[in-house]
Homo-oligomer: A and B are copies of this chain.
Amino acid sequence: MDVKLSVTPYKGTRDFYPRDMKLRNWFFGKIRRTLENACFDEYDGPMLESLDLYAAKSGEELAKEQTYNFTDRGGRDLAIRPEMTPTVARMVAGKMGELNYPLKWFCISNMYRYERPQRGRLREFWQLNVDIFGCDTFEADLDVLQSAIAILRAYGADESMFKVHINNRRFFNDVIAAIAGTDAEGSKKISKVVDRKNKITREAYENAMEEAGLSEEQIEQIDALYSMNVKEATALCPNSVGAQELTALFHALEKTGLDKYCVFDFGIIRGLDYYTGTVFEVFDLAPENNRAMFGGGRYDNLVGLFVKNAKISGVGYGMGDVTLENFLITHSLVPNLDHEGTKVLVTRFDDVPYEKYTALVDTLRGAGITAALYLGAKKFGKQIDYAVKDHYSHVIIMGGDELANGVVKIKNLMTREESTVSVAELATFFA
């Protein structure tokens, strides 16, 4: 066969070479440590799910246009997961009676969406999902927001770099009903327009609002809401449960000192249909990248899709790796990971038996030192080049003379210092 295969990964996906993978592990490591420190438990689910899982509650675009779906050899309609929420709802429903509520769960998993690849959007991406199940009140909303802020702060980000914009779907519906007298269906229609506000022209926005049944005056009343703070806004509908939820949440944010990261924003809707209470989006404050990075909210009824009359509330968010990486790069928060810790290459000469080298490497590894033997039989200069290119911190030289004297030479590749050390003192040298 002479036709050569392409070396390019499938459109919208990435190869993670060791350098990329190191960065990914650094990203995810920070997240894991932050969340585990706050007693969130990691979970995971399968890449493939039954297609009907997504048809049920996701936004229509996601379910119909963006999933990778196909029929398996047994005739089952499957989808590669485009998001994690349906999976986690299924898992909670599956062990509903055994689980210990409130659950604080997270996962970091890859997803597929059929999108046109562009800045911040790929077809395969990883997504952190954080959720709390089984706590209906502001405490869970606060804890979830706190975890998102803690993750960004763990990378060194501060309040000058990001802002959490918060709204409440219940409040939104109540205010819209109060202004326009709409029912749930009418509010939904209007919410779709508000959700697109920043992506369309003012003219298109007004036209769409009019189509949704609003008068010019009503559109102006809604305009006023976009610049209100939470006190002004909730005063419009003080008896709304959503307003009370907002008030309790913002009170707690203020008392816990998280308010400097947060702002009320009536324009926050979140596209997916399943949100019912608090909704939020985290914005990058960098002028060149000023947009929502990720978001989430409260969805009260997802478990009910699986178990009759069940009701376990959830609140959470999803954070994609691509947008997070863009944010961290924009704010110069990614360190150089090339030179981290001790990494020792044992070089090899022909006049020393091979097993002397493997024994030396075993000694180093046994002492917890990252070490390898140069594989192959190239000249010494080539072995040093290899070590430098692969960011080894030290090379060890043990020729016939050193072997006879029970010592090795150690060369520090950063400082160029050379030391002669007995094999017995090796572990101490690197300690």
Residues of A within 8 A of B (CB): 1, 4-11, 13-18, 20-22, 24-25, 36-39, 41-50, 52-53, 56, 68, 70, 72-74, 76, 78, 80, 90-91, 93-95, 100-102, 104-105, 107, 110, 112, 114, 124, 132, 135-137, 139-140, 142-143, 146, 150, 252, 255-256, 305-308, 343, 345, 353-355, 358-359, 365, 368-373, 375-377, 386, 389-390, 392
Contacts and interface: CB of A to CB of B under 8 A. Distances in A.
A386 B100 contact: yes
Given A21-B43, A39-B343, A80-B80, 7 more contacts: A5-B90, A5-B305, A25-B42, A36-B370, A102-B376, A104-B375, A137-B376
Given A105-B18, A255-B354, A140 B375 contact: yes
Contacts of A104: 372, 375
A42 B25 CA distance: 9
A46 B10 contact: yes
A10 B50 contact: yes
A9 B22 CA distance: 32
B21 A102 contact: no
A114 B73 contact: yes
Contact of A143 (B22, B307, B353, B373): B373
Tell me the dominant secondary structure on chain A's binding face: mixed
A44 B24 contact: yes
Given A17-B91, A22-B42, A135 B48 contact: no
Contacts of A49: 9-10
A393 to B, nearest CB: 11
A137 B377 contact: yes
Contacts of A124: 46-48
A36 B74 CA distance: 41
Contact of A80 (B47, B91, B307): B47
B93 A7 contact: yes
A10 B345 CA distance: 46
Contact of A48 (B10, B90, B359): B10
Nearest to A14: B46
B4 A16 contact: no
A13 B375 contact: no
A343 to B, nearest CB: 6
Contacts of A389: 100
Given A38-B365, A46-B14, A305-B5, A256 B371 contact: no
Closest 6 CB pairs of A and B: A13-B46, A39-B372, A18-B41, A70-B70, A7-B94, A255-B355
Contact of A372 (B38, B50, B110, B377): B38
A209 to B, nearest CB: 30
Nearest to A79: B10
A18 B105 CA distance: 8
B42 A91 contact: no
